[in-house]
Amino acid sequence: MNETSCENCTLCRKEGFRPLRADELKFVAGNRHGQGELAAGRYLIRAGEPPKALYTLYEGWAAACPDVPGGETQITEILLPGDLVGTQGCITGRYSHSVVALTRIRYCILDRLLPEKLVQRGGPLCFALLRNFAEERSRRERMLTLLGNGSPLQRLAYFFLETFMRLRAIGLAAETMCPFPLRRSQLAQIVGLSEVHVSRTLAAMRKDGLIDIANNILFIDGEGKLADIARLRPMVYSQGKLIL
Amino acid sequence: MNETSCENCTLCRKEGFRPLRADELKFVAGNRHGQGELAAGRYLIRAGEPPKALYTLYEGWAAACPDVPGGETQITEILLPGDLVGTQGCITGRYSHSVVALTRIRYCILDRLLPEKLVQRGGPLCFALLRNFAEERSRRERMLTLLGNGSPLQRLAYFFLETFMRLRAIGLAAETMCPFPLRRSQLAQIVGLSEVHVSRTLAAMRKDGLIDIANNILFIDGEGKLADIARLRPMVYSQGKLIL
DNA sequence: CGTAATCTTGACCAACGTCAATGTTCGTGG
DNA sequence: CCACGAACATTGACGTTGGTCAAGATTACG
């Protein structure tokens, strides 16, 4: 596993990422403490701990889940390549949720104080951090709406659509399909249903020609139909994801 | 209704708000375009519209609710005095949810470009804006967890506890009670249950000596018991709410 | 090829939603 | 101050949805 430097990072070259200016690149590189790798199932950060670092997910999928004492875990967000991990901790002094790798992941390690430095520094990079927060807040808001009064079908339809569009925005999806490594039980923890009921609902969706999941690939047969069912339309801003 | 200037604002004097430095006060005052008032049930902002302004809720309660075409509305956040309204729109160019007054409200009108200016300016005020986002994201994350796998009892217990603690943090709650103007139907839209079931659950909670609601006042009889039931503990940061 | 993990399907049941009737509170105008 | 109506809250009866349990089927992996 050889180290990749910021200068020849392949991720932020992809469409969907705004290229960094020279001085920005230097700033980020100067706050970078190397990179790491983690197997599926291992934890990158733990809820409640003081922040050790800020991370950028570079490859693979991860999940954010608050610790719920003695209850089923709930996944509150799926983290995809390019997403920041641990911002909450670096801002408020405690990680608010754990982050667990869902596949093997690779990530960059950034200075814990990067947000503060960014605020001092100001400029577009700082604004991008703000927009990152806005985007995540907004995404949780939509899921909240779905969990509050959406049917199982609506919840799943929305989640598939959103995930697909997020992947497409960073160049990781094909025309009508995308990688999809999630297990039924993980889907259940995301949409707030039992694993069994997820399975049933998926069977129905498959029969109706909406979607199919096979070999860790999600096939979207009718993006429009899915959107109609979900009622809510996912918003994928990320015209300028930042920071590696 | 006489105008109050930033200089003799009574809200930000309260405990829980970090007092502004002289230059910060000047900056905020310079980006303030007066204040407004709205009756219960009227909309302050509408989902999907381009941002007209940023607001600070000065008095009263409001609710954030994304537009759901042809479905029950879901309330994704309760806005209390001192909270910012419309940040999402000012950052991303579109308000992501509507905000409706739940009681008569008074609010301050701030420049739509304030977040951008704040980013240029940097400093503690900018960091406070970031922390505001972090706090709201975190709050939605907790509700998401509750709606995903919490019982009706847990959902309500958590919501009462969180609201009580938020009000206390800004000096608007007494030892064991606080104002509580929400109707059953609004509670239902927050916790994702039917109005009838909220009513039933509240009756049970009252019988168990947990809480009581009467005359728009919430009585918390056992804060510890409530916290045990809710499993999640609300986090109220706001050591330094900002910006009027 | 064998074992473990994951997925599917069926049967059953409890929790919650819906409908509807009754009771209560609040504001308004006489 | 009282009377009235409208909005809101409570309670009961009943049906549906989705959870739980358990038994097979399929897949993944050594």
Question: Which residues 5-34 of A are in CB contact (within 8 Å) with B?
Answer: none
Would the Cβ of A194 be found within 7 angstroms of any atom in strand D? yes
Whole-model pTM?
A: 0.94
Is the pLDDT at B160 greater than 50, yes or no?
yes
> A141 and B66 in contact by Cβ < 8 A?
yes
Distance separating alpha carbons of residues A56 and A68, to the nearest angstrom: 25
Distance separating alpha carbons of residues B10 and B14, to the nearest angstrom: 7
Q: According to the model, what pLDDT value does residue A33 have?
A: 93
Is the pLDDT at A174 greater than 80, yes or no?
yes
Distance from CA of A159 to the nearest CA of B (A): 14
CA B105 from centroid of its chain's CA atoms: 12
pLDDT > 70 fraction of chain A, expressed in percent and rounded: 94
pLDDT band at A216 (very low <50, low <70, confident <90, very high): very high
pLDDT band at A6 (very low <50, low <70, confident <90, very high): confident
Higher per-residue pLDDT: A1 or B155: B155
Contacts of B66 in chain A (CB under 8 A): 141-142, 145, 232
Is the pLDDT at A114 greater than 50, yes or no?
yes
Higher per-residue pLDDT: B237 or B148: B148
Determine contact: A185 vs chain B, CB below 8 A: no
Test the A interface: residue of B77, B99, B147, B195 with most A CBs within 10 Å: B147
> A147 and B149 in contact by Cβ < 8 A?
no
